[in-house]
Amino acid sequence: MEPYVTVQNIESKARAWLERIRPHNLHEMRLNAAASALLVVDMQQFFLDPASPTFACGGVAIIPAVKRLMHAFRRAGRPVVFTRHVHHPDDLDSGIMGWWWEGKCLEGSPESEIHPELEPMPGEKVVFKHRYSAFYDTDLETVLRCLKVEDVVVSGTMTNLCCESTARDAYYRDYRVFFPADGAGSINEEMHVASLLNLAFGFAYVTTTDAIAAQLATESSSDNGAQADGASRRRCTGALDGGCSGSSSAAHSPARTATRRRHRLRTHRTPTWPAAVVQRPGATAPRTARTCSPTRASQATHLLVHQLTDPPTPVLAHCVIDAPMTGPDIRTGAKKSPIH
């Protein structure tokens, strides 16, 4: 049977598919690169080997696109998670699937291995599953939660079975789902497009692998630029002369240090409170108390304010408290006398 899509025509096919589902593909989203993860679903020899009875021709056509996605996520430092659909040789975990399908992918068999062009790197998570959805009875959700993932890109085989089921389950768990039309494959075009239509209508934003990779690169570059700009600002201390600490040995010279100190002293401002008019007993005219702190007014008798200038000149501001202070001295226990 002639394959419905090939490596050579998948881009033009994807454009046609997107146009076909466009009236229902209304929930356009932009990938949040910092909280994203790529799921590579069941890209195993069981589905990609032309000699296999379960061969999915669409899976072979998407291999280059999935490779580009994997490269983009790895380059951005974002997780790539793989799934492998396997069953125990004694049908311990087959359930209804053992009756539904004639063949099954046995764990440990060569057919269960991921395609050699898409092999996981050391440390990348591989989820072993026994049903269509990668979330069902696996630790995938735990891994994604621990990685603080919010946006999930679903790729792999088959579009209408494991990929669609995984995308639906991700949506049920409040993940934002991105589904590349040219990043998933099935056994025929009718089933593939039907799934794209269903997903666009209720579960995912259907797009392309190149669009996802471009957004990932743009967001990652923006994040890196912001981090670099923040680091540069933290290094810069030249508010006065525009210099950066560490830019030269002169940055810490005594002359420059003294200049900065004088600048800080000049620009320092002691917080002031509204002036209060108080009458000292025996005085003929009221005095205005300057910069009296209300939090210390109950115990303070005089306030000495030193304003440093260049050259330093002490300025004395006299604050007079009219209310007598008869409480015990908290330091000596002696009774205080009224102060005038």
Q: How far apart are CA 9 and CA 17, in angstroms?
A: 12
Of 41-55, 88-102, 264-278, the least confident? 264-278
What pLDDT is stored for residue 58 in this prediction? 97
pLDDT for res 303: 42
Q: 101-149 pLDDT, tens per residue?
A: 988 999 999 999 999 999 999 999 999 999 999 999 999 999 999 999 9
What does the pLDDT read at residue 103?
Answer: 85
The domains found in the chain, sorted by start residue, are 10-222 (3.40.50.850), 270-340 (no CATH)
Contacts of 109 (CB under 8 A, 6+ apart): none
Average pLDDT, the chain: 79
SS (H, E, C) the chain: CCCCCCCCCHHHHHHHHHHHHHHHCCCCCCCCHHHEEEEEECCEHHHHCCCCCCCCHHHHHCHHHHHHHHHHHHHCCCCEEEEEECECCCCCCCCHHHHHCCCCCECCCHHHCECHHHCCCCCCCEEEECCCCCCCCCCHHHHHHHCCCCEEEEEEECHHHHHHHHHHHHHHCCCEEEEECCCEECCCHHHHHHHHHHHHHHCCEEECHHHHHHHHHHHHHHHHHHHHHHHHHHHECCCCCCCECCCCHHHHCHHHHHHHHHHHHHHCCCCCCCCEEECCCCCCCCEEECCCCCCCCCCCCCCCCCCCCCCCCCCCCCCCCCCCCCCECCCCCCECCCCC
> CA geometry: angle at 33 spanning 27 and 39, to 5°?
80
- At residue 10, does pLDDT exceed 80? yes
Q: What angle do CA 134, 140, 144 make, to 5 degrees?
A: 130
Q: Which of 237, 147, 185 is nearest to 3 (CA)?
A: 185
Residue 147: the pLDDT is 98
Work out the average pLDDT over 209-233: 74
Joined together, the tokens standing for residue 190 give 């009718």
Cβ-based neighbours of 268, under 8 Å, separated by 6 or more? 308
Q: How far apart are CA 181 and CA 12, in angstroms?
A: 11
- Quick: pLDDT tens for 53-70: 999 999 999 999 999 999
Range with lowest mean pLDDT among 177-191, 212-226, 228-242: 228-242
Provide the pLDDT for residue 188.
Answer: 97
Question: pLDDT value at position 329?
Answer: 53
| Residue 251 vs residue 152, higher pLDDT | 152
pLDDT of residue 226: 55
Q: Is the pLDDT of residue 225 over 60?
A: no
In tens, the pLDDT along 242-281 reads 444 444 444 445 555 555 555 454 444 444 444 444 444 5
CA atoms within 13 A on the CB side of 290: 9
Phi, psi of 225 (to 5 degrees): -65, -40
pLDDT at position 324 is 47
Crossing angle of helices 189-202 and 164-172, in 10° steps, is 10
pTM above 0.75, yes or no: no
At residue 110, the pLDDT reads: 95
Q: Are 149 and 35 in contact (CB under 8 A)?
A: yes
Q: According to the model, what pLDDT value does residue 222 have?
A: 65
